[in-house]
Amino acid sequence: MRSRSNSGAMLDVYYHQLTIILDELQHPLTGLLSNRDPKAQYYHHAWMRDNVYCCLSTWGLSLAYRKCTTDRDSEARVNQLERSVVKLMRGLMMCMMMQSDKIETFKKSQHKYDCIHAKFDAATLGAACGDYEWGHLQMDAVAIYVLLLAQMTVSGLVIVQNHDEVAFIQNLVFYLENAYKTPDFGIWERGDKTNRGQVELNASSVGMAKAALEAIHDVDLFGARGSSQSTITCMPDEITQCNITLTSLLPRESNSKECDLALLPLITYPAFAVDDVKVRGQVRSLIVEKLEGNYGCKRFLRDGFKAATEDPNRLYYESYELITFENVECEWPLGLCFLLLDALYREDKDLVDKYRKKLDTLMVPCPELGFHVLPELYYVPFNNIEEERKQPRTQERLPAGKIPHFWGHSIWILTSLICDGLLSPGELDPLNRRLSNQERLDVIVQIAPVAENFDVKLALEEENIAVETAEELAESDMKLRLFHAHVFGSLLTRLGESPKMGLTGRFAHDIIGPEATSRFYVVKDTLLAFVPYFLNKQKFYLALDHQLILKQLGLMVQYFKLNWRGLGRPIVVLLITKEFLDPLTGKLSQLYLETLLKLRTGLLDGLRVNFGSVTEFYATSSIRRLGFLERIIDEERKNPLDSQPMVTHDMMDVPLLLKTGSWGEMPRMAKRMSVFRTIMTSKDILLSPPIDIAEESNRVPKVSTQTSFLTVSSNESLLSEEASSLKLSDIDSASDSDLIKLLHSSNSLNTQLDVLVFMHNKFGLDYEIRVGESCPSVKNLLKELYRRSSEVSAWSILRYSASMLQRNMDNVTSSICQILIRRKALSVGMPPEPREHTIFSPVTLDTFNDILEQSCGYSTPMAALTQEIIKFTALIMATQVELFTGMMRIRIGLIIQVLAMEIARSLNISVDNGMEYLLKLEPYCVYELVCQLFAGREIILSFTSRKVGEGQSDLSLVKYSKKDISQLKTSMHDIEEDEDFFEDWRYDDVPSYSRGTWLRRRRIDGSLTRTPPGFYQGVWKLLAKCHDGICVEDRMLYSIWTKEMTQDEMKFDLKIEEIFSRISEPEYRQILIESMMVLAKLVEKHYKDRVYPVIKLENLCKHANHLFIAEMGERYPNMSRETLLKGTRDISNFFYDSAPSGRYGTLTYLIRSTVMFLEATNSAKKGQDSPPMDCKIS
């Protein structure tokens, strides 16, 4: 161990270096670091990120001196260094506070020009350049500031000094909470690597924001002398969303960067943002393999910054020139500094020695400072470019850029302090973030039922289930007040409020997630609890479906098992309302009784839970204090909680304007304007001719031989009509008075809907109708119809009326975001464009409503059904993301189409009638169908004579299928696993399925946009060997794309998917994908060094189909040619329905067709001989 005198001498060396740097760079008034040379390009420009990283070494040196304060000089140096740190951090805070109006705007818009600037004027603290003159949106720069603010505050520094500054930091937290859905310019300030000003979602920004939010949460900014009113609050759900997004991005940095040096701070100090040890190792290995060199690390592949071949007079790159930077990218010693820091925290001595020696050789003398420093980068001289391209890492490089590079030199000083034993890694991490990746304990979710009123409590007690009412809890010693989740959202609008700076707190439209509602909150002597969002019945009809409520409860438990990281256990307050009781007996419904009894056993869907009262769980639950509300109560002398409504599930009373009665038929007027015609105009998807429904309803119930099926009630015909003086078919030509008379006299919900749909389309929502003595508008009548339909669970009418009323789910934009952050695009409407609209980035509710109107229209139930499918997809994705492997885009319109087709196929009815059944399904059954579709399970239904109540749904799900079509091996997956796929490829182990299985499989996979493993990499290799590219239905996949994008770039995958997504017919899309994989594999294995002209992929498929039809005609001479030729895009349905393998499989003919093309192309080139090729296909 070093003596104190020796340690002090070594510290003095580093102190001397830092003092010279600070004297050279730090502004005497503001404390910011900048280039103070008037001749410099960016004179007085202070970058936020660079300042914070430079501040690290100063802070680290002050911590080292704290241990060696043997005399007053040492104490003075500690004080000087700490004051320098505080001055710099406060200077950056003042810069951002001067732009508080931007924070307020950004909370609502997340626009790249509404953000805090990334650099400031070091002399004035103002803007160094305009909003449009720089890529200012850099979430990681704000995040690293917040992260180190938290670390330094916990270490004992007091940087924030009043409540207005606390409010500002709280608003920075709101700023960062949007990082998981905010594309930015990233750490290198370039966005897309072509440097064309295009923002993209960067893993380094999301990860740093996650780390900052975790670090600052519950930190008292006033230090040991603070209180709950100076403590920062972060929403745990936003941290989870950042983690989910980061996981889906890694090991990539972004769509245009398959790996990046910017990821190193995430896997080591200062962020420690990646929880999974395997993912951390994967990121590290990828960086070492692809980016590390002899002089440092490349920032990313094909980075042209400061390269000898870069044109310094041009800001942006042309796409085709990026390949000229391959293997000659500049190498940054900064990367080795972070790798050394990572090795120090992992205690890998061999790597520590390796990187330290390498860094010592990279130091260069700096005459201005008087000691050796690290340069910004090393570049390949122009004369050595060609040799370096041929043999990477063989040529000598020269230092360039900023000398010294203070960001890199600061990290080097930090690592040197640790290597020399002057500082321990833990001292730089007082929050112990380095330990956050330790394995978490199993989460046990607590579920506490609460009765809405005393009648509900009595019904529960009859079943021996002891509960408390919301009123009893409020009057108990706990003083617990129970609210809906949206009330919590309203309260949070006061968090971070600062009228002086024009800050209004958290944005009111932000959804409160499940983690936030699964905690207790303390406000003075009052305890608060909140009911989960899915129990809110006021807005959308999904909360009317009790099975769906219980399903969401189970999904919530699964979600907590995967994502809960808080202290204490999560508590879910299950509010039992009067709707949970049987309306005839007044007892608890059998569905809820079974669920509550199951919860008593301690298991729900195989997951551990605790079932008990709210009082019992108080001691083991997670508890947070809402200090901002306490301050508001003290200042305003009133409690904001007093103005908030307690829990209630009563629907809003509406004057009775319409008669009530039965429903059963699909409204004919609404049917004419429904999604059926949208589907039919896209393509003919009839699976069978229409059947006689009346005859079908009288037939003997069919028992399916499959293990899973849905039952269908046939006691009431879908096509029955109501007897009335005015026939529904005459509505188009009826007078207004006759329509009003029919509306007033009819007691059928369907008839009322028919009339209201007609009036909505003819007059609009605000048109007033005289019904008796009242003159309600169409909108008010639709509201009443919606309410009456909800009472009898008339789901199809609910969907129609909700669509016409333009109602949205409370969290529809949140559900969209849940899909997008997992790297899936979302398409709404039926193809082709522009009717099908694709969403690539989060949208506001107004924007989404515009998309719905353009894609679906509000006169059909499609708008409501689309929102349901989006919601269910997000729910499934939250707990079973593996089901979405190989999908780049979720196409809602095609999913609805496939569901209707599957119902029609199973019931042997027309697709129109299949859609009618789909619309009459309760939302829970729709959820189960969507889940089975994504899981690859076969959807099987059968008719039954089961009696149903008036106005009830015709379909109900009975059980799952254990056998599914995913057992059919996908051809492309087997191609990836079997190198000799066309030599030995059999399906002898696959059971025989009924006719239409492979056609259905291709339709489903095409609708879900599934692609086989390695598909996009195979296409990239193929395009690299093409002279011009590949044509897919008159749309080109250009070979020049390979010069811009690398093989593993997500951006390339998205370009390919965009081309294939323009194909409306899903089965045709899948055949094209199979053909592409066959072509790519053949070229890779047998035609490696050849350049091909434009390849028309559809010609290969059609020629394969021609070969297939010729052989089928010979094998089945009695089959008519018309039957053989029938199919989509001139491809026979028999070809679509063929298994990939076997003598008559699609691969057989695709391989033959492709080989014929390649050999013909080869023969056309003079002087080239075709190599022998063994293509055994029979």
- Cα distance from N-terminal residue to C-terminal residue, the chain: 75
Q: Which two tokens stand for residue 213?
A: 């939010």
SS (H, E, C) 1018-1045: HHHHHHHCECCEEEECCEEEECCHHHHC
- Using a 10 angstrom Cβ sphere, with 0-12 exposed, 13-18 middle and 19 or more buried, the burial of residue 930 is buried
What are the mean pLDDT values of the chain's consecutive 10-residue runs (1178 residues total)?
64 90 87 78 88 95 86 86 95 96 90 93 92 93 97 95 94 94 94 90 96 95 88 93 94 94 96 94 96 96 93 84 93 97 95 96 90 94 93 94 91 95 94 83 91 91 90 88 89 90 83 90 91 78 87 92 89 90 86 91 89 92 90 83 67 46 44 35 32 32 29 32 46 70 78 83 81 76 86 87 86 90 91 86 88 84 92 92 91 92 85 88 90 83 51 45 43 40 34 66 91 92 89 91 91 92 91 93 81 86 92 80 80 89 87 88 58 42
Model pLDDT, residue 109? 87
Quick count: other Cβ atoms within 10 Å of Cβ 1106? Answer: 16
Q: How many CA atoms lie within 13 A of 379 on its CB side?
A: 16
Phi, psi dihedral angles at 301 (to 5 degrees): -70, 140
Cβ partners under 8 Å of residue 496, min gap 6: 167, 168, 170, 171, 173, 174, 503, 505, 506, 628
Q: What are phi and psi of 1175, to 5 degrees?
A: -125, 75
Amino acid at 288: V
> Which residues contact residue 1069 at a Cβ distance below 8 angstroms, ignoring those fewer than 6 apart?
1006, 1060, 1063
Residues 305 and 332: their CA atoms lie apart, in Å, by 11
- Give the Cα separation of 1153 and 120 in Å (integer): 63
Residues 6+ apart with CB under 8 A from 735: none
What pLDDT score was predicted for residue 944? 54
User: Residue 465 gets which letter from DSSP?
Assistant: -
Cβ–Cβ < 8 Å for 147, 216:
yes
The 3-state secondary structure of 1085-1104 reads: HHCCCCCECCEEHHHHHHHH
Cβ neighbours for 1075, distance < 8 A, ≥ 6 positions apart: 1097, 1100, 1101, 1104, 1150, 1153, 1154
CB 56 within 8 A of CB 148: yes
Residues 6+ apart with CB under 8 A from 581: 455, 456, 459, 587, 588, 589
Give pLDDT, residue 392.
92
Structural contact between residues 271 and 147, judged by C-beta atoms closer than 8 angstroms: yes
Q: What residues contact residue 1059 under an 8 Å CB cut-off, 6+ apart?
A: 1032, 1035, 1037
Per-residue model confidence (pLDDT) at position 769? 76
Listing DSSP states for 250-280 in one string gives: TT-SSSS-SSBGGGHHHHSTTT-----HHHH
